[in-house]
Amino acid sequence: MNIETETRSILDEALGLHGRSRDFTQATPLLGAVPELDSMAVLAVLTLLEERFGFVIDDDEIDGQTFASFGSLLNFITRKLASN
């Protein structure tokens, strides 16, 4: 499974981006920059991450930095997969 491709798919699905995530780079800001990423959408993204990647995300693992950029989200997922 390609983490980056799967994460793009999750963001497109949860946020209704219609493929816009394909243009995201590691530096692309998310929280505060993508209007669709509100508090409810964050929950949807987290749920899909758990389902697709097979890990559990505890409340204390998530903060604003997790969704600061596409790269920070990918780093979080990579760390979660490594600790499983």
Q: How far apart are CA 36 and CA 30, in angstroms?
A: 9
* Tens digit of each residue's pLDDT (9 = 90 or more) over 29-78: 999 999 999 999 999 999 999 999 999 999 999 999 999 999 999 999 99
Q: How far apart are CA 38 and CA 4, in angstroms?
A: 21
- Residue 1 pLDDT > 80: no
Residue-level length of the chain: 84
pTM of the model: 0.95
- Structural domain harbouring 59: 3-83
pLDDT value for 17: 97
Counted domains in the chain = 1
CATH, residue 71: 1.10.1200.10
